[in-house]
Amino acid sequence: MGTKELILEKALKLFSEKGIKETTVRDIAKAVGITEGAIYRHFESKDQIVYDLFGRYSEELYEKLEKAMEKQTDREAKFKEAVKIFLEFAFRNPDAFRFMNIFHYLRGKEVRKFRKIPFQLLRDLILELHKEGVLRTEPEYALATLTGTLERVFLYKSMGILKGSRKEIKERTAELLWKALAECGS
C-alpha cells in the first residue's frame, strides 16, 4: 500500500477512536511510521485528510446503496436490501462509519460541500415508498426510525451489546424496520 493510503487508513482509525481535533498530525505520522513533515507531501493540510476520508467513504456507501437499490424492483426487497447494505458497510468499515458520524455531529454544516451523501438516498427511498402508499408512517418519522436504528444497531454491535452474526443482525434489523414502518404503520 502506498504511503498516502496508509496515512488515510491510520488517520481514519485515530479519528474514529479519539476524535478529529483530538488526533494530532504527529499521532498520524507516528502510526504510519513517518514524520510529521512527510504528511505534507501527500496532503495539503490535516483538514484535507478529513475531507478526503469523508468524501471517499460517503461516496463509497452512496454508490453501494445506489447500485443495490437499482437491482431490486420489489419494494420490500429494495428497502431491506438498503438496510442490509448500509449495515454491511458499517460492519466492514467500522472506523469509517464512526468517523462519518463524528463528522456529521461536529461539522454538520460542512457536509453540504459533498455530493453523494448516503442520507439523501435513504431519504429518497423513504419518500418514494411513502408516495407509493407502501409506507404509511409519515416519511420524516420513518426516516428518523430508520437512520436512528441503523446507527444504534451498529453501535451496540461494536459495543458487544448486540450478539449474533453480521448476517443475522442485518436480516433481523431489516425485518424489524420493515414491519415497524410498512406493515405496522398507521
Q: Residues 31 to 70: which contact a second copy by CB under 8 A?
A: none
Query: Per CB under 8 A, does 18 bind a second copy?
Result: yes
Query: Per CB under 7 A, does 24 bind DNA?
Result: yes
Query: Per CB under 8 A, does 148 bind a second copy?
Result: yes
What does residue 138 show for φ and ψ, rounded to 5 degrees?
Answer: -55, 140
- H helices of 2-71, in order, are 3-18, 25-32, 36-42, 46-71
Query: Per CB under 8 A, does 83 bind a second copy?
Result: no
CB of 29 to DNA, least distance (A): 7
Query: Per CB under 7 A, does 3 bind DNA?
Result: yes
Question: CA-CA distances (angstroms) from residue 45 to 11, 61, 103, 122, 174?
Answer: 13, 25, 17, 32, 40
Q: Which residue has the cell 455530493?
A: 115
Residue 114 zone, left/alpha/beta (φ > 0; ψ -120 to 50; rest) = beta
Query: Per CB under 7 A, does 106 bind DNA?
Result: no
41 binds, among a second copy, DNA, none (CB under 5 to 8 A by kind): DNA
Q: Which stretch binds DNA (CB under 7 A): 20-28, 60-68, 107-115, 126-134?
A: 20-28
Residue 164 zone, left/alpha/beta (φ > 0; ψ -120 to 50; rest) = left
| Cβ neighbours of 78 (radius 10 Å) | 18
Here's the x/- map for DNA, 32-51, by CB under 7 A: it reads as --xxxxxxxxx-xxxx----
63 binds, among a second copy, DNA, none (CB under 5 to 8 A by kind): none
CB of 67 to a second copy, least distance (A): 25
For residues 13 and 170, which CB has a smaller minimum distance to DNA in the complex? Answer: 13
Whether the CB-CB separation of 102 and 20 falls below 8 Å is answered with yes
Interface residues toward DNA, by CB under 7 A: 2-3, 23-26, 34-42, 44-47
